[in-house]
Structure formats: structure tokens, C-alpha cells
Amino acid sequence: MKHIIKQGQKFEREDLPREQALARLAVMNEPYKQEYANELFEKKQLESLSFYRNGPFLDMCEGPHVESTRKIRSTRSSCAAWRAPTGAATRAT
């Protein structure tokens, strides 16, 4: 993680409507994140869901994000990773 932070990888945001967001999570084989995404769409009446990419990693997250990994002060995650059994970020496919 420290190596990634030092690289200063930029975060790229992409907003996807419900069907596309759920389809992406299905391709990523993320059933817990699909469940959480459905909850977000229902409870918060969202029109889209944000995905952030840095380097080879892709994850959904409400944000906001800093501009690059160099600005990260802690390695604790506030994204949906807490629902996944491994608690790890997802490698993009």
C-alpha cells in the first residue's frame, strides 16, 4: 500500500446508471457490493453510482476522493470493501 501511495496514482471517476453499475459489479464477481449498491439506489434514490480507478484497481465508492494516492494519509478504507469477506480492493478485469 505504501508503494501505491508513493506512486501518486490518479483517481479516475466514472458514474454509471443502475443497470450498468450492477452489471459491472456482476462481471467483477462482487455479490456483496451488488447488494450494497441496490441498497444505495433504493435508500438514497440515486440516479448513478460512482466507480473509481487508480492504476489497475477499480472499486465503487461514494467518494469524494483525493486527486491521487499521494494525498492519502491512512490506509483504512471507507468504501464498500468492508462487506466483502476479504476486505480487499478489487482488481479490474
> Mind listing the domains of the chain with CATH numbers?
2-83 (3.30.54.20)
CA distance 4 to 2: 5
Task: Determine if the pTM surpasses 0.75.
Answer: no
**Grid cell at residue 46:** 440515486
Q: How far is CA 73 from CA 9, 20, 23, 69, in A?
A: 14, 32, 32, 9
pLDDT of residue 84: 45
pLDDT tens digits, 29-41: 999 999 999 999 9
